[in-house]
């Protein structure tokens, strides 16, 4: 790889690697730059494909200036939506947030404040198939690359998830694998934990068991009530979700064997 990059008079900005000795796998990420007139993406990709085939490598090539298009799914809790939209406006997320889809109407004013289109698709008894079909249509119409579940409190079907492998990021209000499913702060309170956490992960067909991207924790005491846990937990949710989204947008995540490698 380095030899091929050097032929284009490129400058390596970052290089990272990781070895999983147990699975006998080696991972590498190289970020480089060169003059646009010297590097044609398609030509470079074809040349690297030959090299990769020789060594039986799995690989991908991405351009840092090509911004991914993002859709945010949200329910009635708006703290993660607000955080992502604010970071987006501040230039912290190198993407284009093209759409917000909500199964509650509360997010419409917030999305409108940031100039992002909002579509209200309520989920009621018996209409989940129709709602997901409309969501898929909207994602295609808006040419979405990444779906972010910003506290979207609906379980996506296996058929939906299968169309977006490693392209749906969720935030779970618990330090997984503890307290999966609904009402984890209540479960943590009744268990008497001393730490609470939040987890961002890729969505798979197994509920709350996708590859973990980021986690963080906060200390709690016997004096904390359930509302205290929820308040502290929401701060963690904002942090771990925004980190996961940013790392995905910067192509820093490799996903394998239901685990992730995060490159600096």
The count of C-alpha atoms lying within 13 angstroms of the C-alpha of 229, restricted to the half-sphere facing its C-beta, is 26
Give strand pairing partners of 195: 219
**Residue 28 is encoded by which pair of tokens?**
């590498």
- The CA-based diameter of the chain, rounded to the nearest angstrom, is 63
Mark whether 228 is an active-site residue.
no
Residue whose C-alpha is closest to residue 111's, from 84, 133, 135: 84
Query: Which of 83, 145, 208, 224 does the annotation list as catalytic?
Result: 208
Residue whose C-alpha is closest to residue 131's, from 120, 142, 141, 140: 120
Q: Report the interhelical angle of 79-89 vs 226-249 (nearest 10°).
A: 40
In this structure, are residues 216 and 187 in contact, taking their beta carbons and an 8 Å threshold?
no
Residue whose C-alpha is closest to residue 106's, from 76, 63, 138: 76
What is the per-residue DSSP string for 59-111?
A: -----TTSPEEEEEEE-S--HHHHHHHHHHHTT-S-EEEEEEEESSGGGHHHH
- Active-site amino acid positions: 208
């Amino acid at each position: 790889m380095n030899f091929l990059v050097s032929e284009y008079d490129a400058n390596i900005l970052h290089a990272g690697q990781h070895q999983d000795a147990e699975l006998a796998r080696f991972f590498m990420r190289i970020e480089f730059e060169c003059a646009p007139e010297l590097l044609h993406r398609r030509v470079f990709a074809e040349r690297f494909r030959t090299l990769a085939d020789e060594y039986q490598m799995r690989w991908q090539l991405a351009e840092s200036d090509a911004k991914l298009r993002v859709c945010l799914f949200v329910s009635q809790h708006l703290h993660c939506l607000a955080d992502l939209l604010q970071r987006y406006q501040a230039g912290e997320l190198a993407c284009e947030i093209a759409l917000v889809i909500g199964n509650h109407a509360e997010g419409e004013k917030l999305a409108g404040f940031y100039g992002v289109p909002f579509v209200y698709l309520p989920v009621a008894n018996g209409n989940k198939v129709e709602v997901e079909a409309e969501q898929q249509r909207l994602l295609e119409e808006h040419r979405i690359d990444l779906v972010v579940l910003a506290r979207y409190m609906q379980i996506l079907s296996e058929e939906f998830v299968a169309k977006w492998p490693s392209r749906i990021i969720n935030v779970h209000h618990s330090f997984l694998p503890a307290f999966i499913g609904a009402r984890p702060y209540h479960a943590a309170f009744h268990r008497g934990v001393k730490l609470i956490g939040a987890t961002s992960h890729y969505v798979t067909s197994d509920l709350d068991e996708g590859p973990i991207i980021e986690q963080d924790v906060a200390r709690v005491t016997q004096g904390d009530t359930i509302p205290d846990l929820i308040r502290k937990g929401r701060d963690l949710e904002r942090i771990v979700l925004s980190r996961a989204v940013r790392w995905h947008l910067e192509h820093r995540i490799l996903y394998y064997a239901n685990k992730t490698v995060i490159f600096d």
